[in-house]
Amino acid sequence: MNYYNEIKNVLINNELYKKVKDYSKDKNDLTTYYNVGKLLNDAGKHYGDGIIKKYSLKLTSELGRKYDTTTLKRMRQFFNIIEKGAPMAHLLTWSHYIELLPLKDINKINYYIKITEEQNLSKRKLREKIKNKEYERLDEKTKHKLIKQENNKIEDFIKDPIIIKNKNNYDSVSEKLLQQLILEDIPSFLSELGSGFSFIKNEYPIKIGNTYNYIDLLLYNIDFNCYVVIELKTTELKKEHIGQIEIYMNYIDKNIKKIYQEKTIGIIICKKDNKFIISYASDERIISRKYVLN
């Protein structure tokens, strides 16, 4: 088999296809690069790793600089990750996959493909999530559920720790300042919590008896059809924080929640988590996560 001619013809056909059917060029790119990657993989088995450099020199001479050694190696990597079980997701572009190729864990790759499709992430947003180690900050139970394709709960995709952007590089913050940092970039904060979250109001007022109390952040999750109470603490998690957020959650359930909505969830975001306190909390709807300023 003349591997070089096969590779050259596949690449030429793809260039012609893009000129005629521009609307589906991304899908055809992925199919083309998968096929080229397979041919390169097979050629390597016959002629050794040096064949990529040899083919690159010829392709660069005949078709242009875009087919250099790095590009051909990426095509072979692309073929290999698809063979290992990553989907060829046609909502992703070749640029998306280039961001994923350096990752070694196929489960990690599949996670980023999944959220890129669900959240319609740009290449830049995908790169940011990988850089922030979003997958690594998921609970091990969540990772297992993803592999088994089991149903998830609202807390599964809440990162740990939650990264809060700190553009002014504060060393320490008060609860008010922490809230301000979150409000400065609500989309990033909601993304740290997972999918389906929408912002309702900060300092949400509720009247208990003759006294007004203020919920730090009130959110709603569309996917799980429930309100979400957020309380911010710049200390280690304490038992009194559990009681406070439980009262706020019950207030929302009794006075705001509609009959067709699910019960309210509570998230305590604190400087230092305490799993022992959470383990003894009677209400499983209460979740705690620590934060870091970045």
Lowest mean pLDDT among 132-136, 205-209, 274-278: 274-278
Tell how strand 226-236 and strand 211-221 pair up: antiparallel
Cα–Cα distance between 158 and 162 in angstroms, integer? Answer: 8
The residue type found at 201 is K
**How sure is the predictor about 282, in pLDDT bands with cuts at 50, 70 and 90?**
confident
pLDDT for 23 beyond 60: no
**How sure is the predictor about 236, in pLDDT bands with cuts at 50, 70 and 90?**
very high
pLDDT for 172 beyond 90: no
Cα–Cα distance between 101 and 109 in angstroms, integer? Answer: 8
| pLDDT tens-digit map of 255-265 | 999 999 999 99
Can you tell me the mean pLDDT for 81-94? Answer: 94
Q: Residue 21's pLDDT is what?
A: 58
**How sure is the predictor about 166, in pLDDT bands with cuts at 50, 70 and 90?**
very high
Domain range annotation of the chain: 3-131, 145-293
Q: Residue 276's pLDDT is what?
A: 87
**CATH fit for domain 145-293, picks 3.40.1350.10, 3.40.50.880, 3.40.50.2300, 2.30.140.10:** 3.40.1350.10
Cα–Cα distance between 277 and 244 in angstroms, integer? Answer: 14
Contact 242, 235 (CB under 8 A): no
Cβ count near 20 (within 10 Å): 7
pLDDT for 81 beyond 70: yes
Residue-level length of the chain: 294
**How sure is the predictor about 275, in pLDDT bands with cuts at 50, 70 and 90?**
confident
Per the prediction, the chain carries an average pLDDT of 93
Angle at Cα 149 formed by Cα 224 and Cα 282, nearest 5°?
Answer: 45
**How sure is the predictor about 279, in pLDDT bands with cuts at 50, 70 and 90?**
confident
Sequence-ordered list of residues with C-beta below 8 angstroms from that of 48, at least 6 positions apart, any chain:
none
**CA-closest candidate to residue 168, choices 178, 176, 156:** 178
Q: Residue 27's pLDDT is what?
A: 78
**How sure is the predictor about 1, in pLDDT bands with cuts at 50, 70 and 90?**
confident
Q: Residue 79's pLDDT is what?
A: 97
Contact 281, 150 (CB under 8 A): no
Which of residues 16 and 24 earns the better pLDDT score? 16
| pLDDT tens-digit map of 40-74 | 999 999 899 899 999 999 999 998 888 999 999 99
